[in-house]
Amino acid sequence: MKKKAIHKRLLLVLLIPLGYLLFYLSSLSHSLTEKIYSQVLYKVLTLPLNLLFGYIPISMAEILLISTVLILLFLIVRTIIRIIKSSSEKWSILGRAISNFVAALSILYFSFILLWGFNYQRLPFKDIAGYDTQPTDINMLKQVCEALIQRTNELRTQVDENSNGIMKLSGGINNTLKRAHLGYKNIESQYPELTYKFGRPKGVLLSEVMSYLGIGGVYFPYTTEANVNISLPSTSLPFTACHEIAHQIGFSREDEANYIAYLACKYHPDADFQYSGTLSAMIYATNALYQYSPEDYFELREKYSEGVNRDVNALNNYWEKYETKIQDFSSSINNAYLKANMQNDGVRSYGRMVDLLIAEYRKK
């Protein structure tokens, strides 16, 4: 019986190379992956999970992650105790524990690839939208920044403020998460690939922990839940909710999820979403401008309205509170994760959102 159990665990370990092989093969034809997986299989595979978890009001992902950590700690302590007490089977106990862990890891990895990972190899959104993202000069980037600043200033006059003069949501956090899908409803006729049929985004109870890790939100493929850090400033919350919905729909790449979130906010019926999305796009674009032409950046920075200035400063102050070595470590883990999924720019891939913003501006 022991030999059979060992053989089963060894077979499960093979799921890691099998999963990576399938993932590699999917990278050979983005068009085929789009048609077979993203447009068909992904929707079929996520449907039962969405029906099971999508409409539960709390984040089951958070419960499962906390439970997994606690169970893992319990098993580690139990294994250590057994090794200490055993006189003749120390290595056997350790070997079984390691093989069980690797087998479980193999199942999780293969499930991740099957339930979501293939979406990293779908058609780029620029091809879906028909955008030309060829390199352009700094003047075009400056024009995009100016247009976004102007629109952000206009939208700032349409949103509410708190007593400190900082933008606030037109409803509470729960109401905001409930409204997040409305922008997608308005663009699905133009982009059928962005049709939204999932449960709404969910707030995370341990949001403060996410802030220390530098995380605004997390999509959890095992439950198909879009999880949002609800301690974020009001300026970021709508955009972040729409970003996680983009992952939920099946757009894995971070830069594309950012741009899609901007689109969903832009066409949202409510001004707080429109402002959050446009402000976020403006920040990405002006940060890119600063890298290439600081003098142009500071020239345009003077064009921010007083309200936009207060919001940007409040946002910077918020994240400064959480700048720790923990956040640096989290960023390095995220960087490794992106590269493992063949996003070779790692964390820097977030900046490519600006290419899509420029392409949209140029197309119009």
Give the model's pLDDT for residue 350. Answer: 38
Give the model's pLDDT for residue 331. Answer: 47
Give the model's pLDDT for residue 3. Answer: 53
Asked if 110 and 19 touch (Cβ cutoff 8 Å), the reply is yes
Give the model's pLDDT for residue 322. Answer: 86
d(CA 200, CA 151): 28
Question: Which among 198, 37, 207 is positioned nearest to 116, based on CA atoms?
Answer: 37
β-bridge pairing 167-168 and 160-161: antiparallel
d(CA 89, CA 27): 45
Could you give the count of Cα atoms lying within 13 Å of 144 in the half-sphere of its Cβ? 28
Q: What is the mean pLDDT of residues 308-318?
A: 95
Residue 169 has pLDDT above 60, yes or no: yes
Give the model's pLDDT for residue 19. Answer: 93
Give the model's pLDDT for residue 4. Answer: 58
Q: What is the 3-state secondary structure (H, E, C) of 284-337?
A: HHHHHHHHHCHHHHHHHHCCCCHHHHHHHHHHHHHHHCCCCHHHHHHHHHHHHH
3-state secondary structure of 54: coil
Q: What is the mean pLDDT of residues 139-157?
A: 96
Question: Which among 209, 216, 290, 211 is positioned nearest to 257, based on CA atoms?
Answer: 216
Asked if 239 and 261 touch (Cβ cutoff 8 Å), the reply is yes
β-bridge pairing 225-228 and 217-220: antiparallel
Between 74 and 346, residue with greater pLDDT: 74
Residue 231 phi/psi, 5-degree rounding, is -90, 0
Between 94 and 144, residue with greater pLDDT: 144
Q: Angle between the 138-156 and 294-301 helix axes, to the nearest 10 degrees?
A: 20
d(CA 313, CA 291): 19
pLDDT in tens, 100-110: 898 899 999 99
CA angle (336 as vertex; 334, 342 as ends), nearest 5:
110
Q: What is the mean pLDDT of residues 183-191?
A: 95
Share of the chain above pLDDT 70, in %: 90
Domain residue ranges of the chain, discontinuous segments joined by +: 2-121, 125-363
d(CA 124, CA 31): 9
d(CA 336, CA 342): 10
Give the model's pLDDT for residue 127. Answer: 94
Residue 285 has pLDDT above 50, yes or no: yes
Mean pLDDT of the chain: 89
Question: Which residues have CB under 8 Å from 107's CB, separation 6+?
Answer: 12, 15
Q: What is the mean pLDDT of residues 180-184?
A: 97
Asked if 225 and 61 touch (Cβ cutoff 8 Å), the reply is yes
Give the model's pLDDT for residue 194. Answer: 96
Between 321 and 281, residue with greater pLDDT: 281
Q: What is the mean pLDDT of residues 75-93?
A: 86
Q: What is the mean pLDDT of residues 170-194?
A: 95
3-state secondary structure of 106: helix
d(CA 237, CA 170): 12
Share of the chain above pLDDT 90, in %: 75
Give the model's pLDDT for residue 349. Answer: 34
Amino acid at 232: L
Q: What is the mean pLDDT of residues 306-320?
A: 95
Q: In what order do the strands lie in the sheet with 202-203?
A: 202-203, 225-228, 217-220
Give the other-Cβ count within 10 Å of 211's Cβ.
18
- The DSSP annotation for 198-262 comes to SPPPEE-TTHHHHHHTT-SEEEETTTTEEEE-TTS-TTTHHHHHHHHHHHHHT---HHHHHHHHH
Give the model's pLDDT for residue 99. Answer: 85
pLDDT in tens, 13-43: 889 999 999 999 999 999 999 999 999 999 9
Task: Give CA 178 to chain center in angstroms.
Answer: 18
What's the pLDDT band for 11 if we cut at 50, 70, 90? confident
pLDDT in tens, 329-360: 444 544 554 454 454 544 333 368 999 999 99
